[in-house]
Amino acid sequence: MATERSDLAAMLGPIVRDLMAIELPILAAHEVSMWGYVVLNALDDTPVRTQSALAEAIGADKSRIIGTLDELQQAGLIERTPDPDDRRVRLLSITPQGRAMRRAVRKDIQAAELQVLDGLPAADRKTFLRLLQQLHASR
Amino acid sequence: MATERSDLAAMLGPIVRDLMAIELPILAAHEVSMWGYVVLNALDDTPVRTQSALAEAIGADKSRIIGTLDELQQAGLIERTPDPDDRRVRLLSITPQGRAMRRAVRKDIQAAELQVLDGLPAADRKTFLRLLQQLHASR
DNA sequence: TATTGTTATACTCTATAACTATA
DNA sequence: TATAGTTATAGAGTATAACAATA
């Protein structure tokens, strides 16, 4: 039976768990939470107008990200400015410091995270990365 | 700059989230919890003696899996028999019903889960799967 | 004294539903 | 009446430490 294999989640789960273990100390060193980093990435890559839109973009409930936004704003990494055209809305934007923080954290994370692919030969690591990027881009 | 890419976790996270959404209804239909299914897989693939060893194998604390083991045992999917050589230990084993359940759930999951790779051409899907299996086997 | 399995406690996350202010 | 943001509440999940039985 050639199709005997583990479930995708059973194979991907442990990798993601290892990635968390690698990233959490890095995030802590930069004094940013995991969700804070997710928000900075989202705002930097594809700016959104409202908090609802941001929540939807990162797969969270609008009520769940408020504490994260409070922290990021207090740290000067994002701004929430009232929308003059619709005073219910608070327009979101990443600040220059937020962008710098995002870049700094990402540099550290990307320098450390590839160790989870150590089980593959170098050529296969490149292929895996390429396919994963392709898959991610297609969403 | 050719190295511009998303973090591994940022690319893998959404895939794992999609997999969860696909698998949870299937598990519910079979009346098995996610951790219950993880335990059945672990016991079927690489039998372990003690509950501690099982917990370690699936990356959980020994206290965290007790409720899961209770449910599985009550459903007749696993057995916990006292070890005569060390009466602190309860020897774990999967039952024939447990094995059948595992196979049935796995069949359904594997029939549904590959849709998360739909963003890749068929040939690349095969390559990705092969590399992922290789990576998983190297752990 | 250390270990296995268990239970109890507290803590973190999250989902849900209210609430306000606007539209 | 509906929507954006916020707050409050309750529930699930988890980590940690304590415990009884055995080694």
Q: In this predicted structure, what is the pLDDT of residue B2?
A: 56
Whether A21 has its CB under 8 Å from any CB of chain B: the answer is no
pLDDT above 90: residue A4: no
Going by pLDDT thresholds of 50, 70 and 90, the confidence category of residue B26 is very high
* Interval B43-92: pLDDT, tens: 999 989 999 999 999 999 999 999 999 999 999 999 999 999 999 999 99
Q: What is the DSSP string of A82-117?
A: E-TT-TT-EEEEE-HHHHHHHHHHHHHHHHHHGGGG
Task: Report how far residue A69's alpha carbon sits from residue A36's, in angstroms, rounded to the nearest whole number.
Answer: 7
User: Distance (Å) from the C-alpha of residue A73 to the closest C-alpha of chain B?
Assistant: 22
Q: Is residue B63 part of a domain?
A: yes
Share of chain B above pLDDT 70, in %: 98
Task: Report how far residue A135's alpha carbon sits from residue B126's, in angstroms, rounded to the nearest whole number.
Answer: 13
pLDDT above 90: residue A131: yes
At A38, which CATH number? 1.10.10.10
* Interval A93-125: pLDDT, tens: 999 999 999 999 999 999 999 999 999 999 999
Residue B84 structural domain? 8-137
Cβ-based contacts of A13 with chain B (< 8 Å)? 16
Q: Is residue B3 part of a domain?
A: no
Q: Is residue A4 part of a domain?
A: no
Q: Is residue B1 part of a domain?
A: no
Kindly determine whether the C-beta of residue B103 is less than 7 Å away from any atom of nucleic acid strand D.
no
- Nearest C-alpha neighbor of B50 from the set B69, B24, B33: B69
Q: Is residue A1 part of a domain?
A: no
* Nucleotide in closest CA–C1' contact with A70: D6
Task: Report how far residue B21's alpha carbon sits from residue B25's, in angstroms, rounded to the nearest whole number.
Answer: 7
Q: In this predicted structure, what is the pLDDT of residue A122?
A: 96
Which of B1, B4, B7 to mutate to test binding with chain A, by most A CBs within 10 Å of its CB? Answer: B7
Whether A33 has its CB under 8 Å from any CB of chain B: the answer is no
User: Distance (Å) from the C-alpha of residue A71 to the closest C-alpha of chain B?
Assistant: 21
* Nucleotide in closest CA–C1' contact with B89: C4
* Nucleotide in closest CA–C1' contact with A63: D6
Q: In this predicted structure, what is the pLDDT of residue B27?
A: 97
* Interval A16-43: pLDDT, tens: 999 999 999 999 999 999 999 999 999 9
Q: Is residue B75 part of a domain?
A: yes
Q: In this predicted structure, what is the pLDDT of residue A3?
A: 62
Copy the structure tokens of residue B103: 């196979």
pLDDT above 80: residue A2: no
Give me the CA B57–C1' D23 separation in Å, rounded: 24
Contact criterion met (CB below 8 Å) for B98 and B43: yes
Q: Is residue A59 part of a domain?
A: yes
pLDDT above 70: residue A1: no
Whether B8 has its CB under 8 Å from any CB of chain A: the answer is yes
Over residues B2-10, mean pLDDT: 87
Binary contact (A127, B131; C-beta < 8 A): yes
User: Which chain C positions have some atom within 7 A of a protein CB?
Assistant: 3-8, 14-18, 21-23
Q: Is residue A2 part of a domain?
A: no
Residues 6+ apart with CB under 8 A from B53: none
Cβ-based contacts of B5 with chain A (< 8 Å)? 110, 129, 133
Kindly determine whether the C-beta of residue B88 is less than 7 Å away from any atom of nucleic acid strand C.
yes
> How many domains in chain B?
1
Q: In this predicted structure, what is the pLDDT of residue B1?
A: 56
* Interval A48-101: pLDDT, tens: 999 999 999 999 999 999 999 999 999 999 999 999 999 999 999 999 999 999
Kindly determine whether the C-beta of residue A56 is less than 7 Å away from any atom of nucleic acid strand C.
no
Share of chain B above pLDDT 90, in %: 96
